Amino acid sequence: MWNALWKFLHKLASPKYFYNISAKLIPWFSWTALFLILAAVYFGLVKAPPDYQQGESYRIIYVHVPAAWMSMFIYMVMAITGAIGLIWKMKLADVMAASSAPIGASFTFLALVTGSLWGKPMWGTWWVWDARLTAELILLFLYFGVMALNAAIEDKRNAARASAVLALVGVVNIPIIHYSVEWWNTLHQGATITKFDRPSMDMSMLLPLLLMAFAFKFYYASVVMKRARVEVLEREKNSTWVQEEIMGKA
Amino acid sequence: MTPKRKKRLALVGVLVLGVSASVALALMAFNENLQLFYSPKQITAGEAPAGKVIRVGGLVLNGSVQRKPGDIKVSFDVTDTADNLTIEYTGILPDLFREGQGIVAIGKLQDDGIFQASEVLAKHDENYMPPEVSDALQTAHEEGVNQPKQN
């Protein structure tokens, strides 16, 4: 079984194979994402009851929390693929890392904006420099740094190497974001959903949150593949298979 | 794995560990500055700088909120269960402000030991539940039924 998996990974690492298989996967991921988003919106905005304290305004959680999870998840994908690119010089890993950065930055931005919109009526302020908010803002700047390095360095291999090093340096920020609410006193509340404990949220409110979290994962998978396909074509433009792909098989 | 790859893997590992260790040391050194607010206990112990704008956080003590009639001036006590601190504030309180709720107040500690706040923020907790569940919990609590708390 391990052998088969290893073989598949090797095959996947070939840009041409990735280009072909991603074309088949993207529609599946996109439709699943759309379906899950619609379900999550329905259950979250229509079915879920209002909160005992916050009333209706808590519903922003259905965008805010999944977006914040994604901001960290995509960063880890970017750092791990970056490391694979550094160590094994795998082209597709570089492509994945570069394609992930703008999507991760968007989710981070979304988490910051929705949090701010919620913070004004609930906390009484748009922004406060507490550990959680500040660490998430640093995450946004790390994404910007990775994107800037990728864009500024002409040679793709050097760009990938530089941005992977930055991404790996920034990895330390991920546990800081996660544990900030426990390590220091912050205005941001603690975690509602933890691995080892019962979530401190009613089931009817939790379900749409989890649906949206899955929806965002599929959305990311679909969008990162679309970006990666373009990136692959760009990087492999001198190879015969790309020439054939563009010009049509003569 | 080829020796070259092994070396690069080790380099990546050293990079991540080195950065983590140095950041951890820096965070420990700056621990005090990373706290958003002082607790009433810290203020009683004199850990907060006097005459400077600081933040104080704690739970609003039940039954301590006093409003002057015809005025928006309000005074209340916050507690960290060890010590209490009286806060005076003039202005509009956030929606979530209520007795038993966590708050963060920004202002200065006066010589008479009263904290003059210029801004009060409500701290939300991590519990979400429908009103009915909250009512049921409340009733159960009042009846003294030994029902496990929803957490």
pLDDT digits (tens, 9 = 90+) for A48-60: 888 887 888 889 9
Are A185 and B134 in contact (CB < 8 Å)? no
Asked if the structure places residue B20 within a domain, the reply is: yes
Are B12 and A168 in contact (CB < 8 Å)? yes
Q: Indicate the pLDDT class of residue A37, thresholds 50, 70 and 90.
A: very high
Long-range CB contacts (within 8 A, 24+) of B76-81: B78/B40, B78/B103, B78/B105, B79/B40, B80/B39, B80/B40, B80/B41
Residues B76 and B24 in one domain: no
Residues B46 and B28 in one domain: no
Rounded average pLDDT over A222-228 = 96
pLDDT tens profile A133-147: 999 999 999 999 999
Are B119 and A61 in contact (CB < 8 Å)? no
Nearest CA in chain A to B7: A87
Asked if the structure places residue B148 within a domain, the reply is: no
Determine the structural domain holding residue B29 and report its residue range.
1-33
pLDDT at B146: 52
Rounded to 10 deg, the angle between the A61-88 and A131-152 helix axes is 40
pLDDT at A22: 93
Does residue A122 belong to the interface with chain B, where contact is any CB pair within 8 Å?
yes
Contact assessment for residue A215 and residue A29, using Cβ atoms and an 8 Å cutoff:
no
Q: How many domains does chain B have?
A: 2
List chain A domain ranges.
Answer: 59-192+199-242
Contact assessment for residue A72 and residue A177, using Cβ atoms and an 8 Å cutoff:
yes
Q: Indicate the pLDDT class of residue A244, thresholds 50, 70 and 90.
A: confident
Nearest CA in chain B to A80: B12
Residues B22 and B82 in one domain: no
pLDDT at A155: 92
> Which helix (H) or strand (E) segment is A41 a member of?
helix A15-42
Residues B11 and B76 in one domain: no
ipTM of the complex: 0.78
Residues B20 and B73 in one domain: no
CA distance A141 to A149: 12
Tell me the CATH number at B53. 2.40.50.140
Contacts of A31 (CB under 8 A, 6+ apart): none
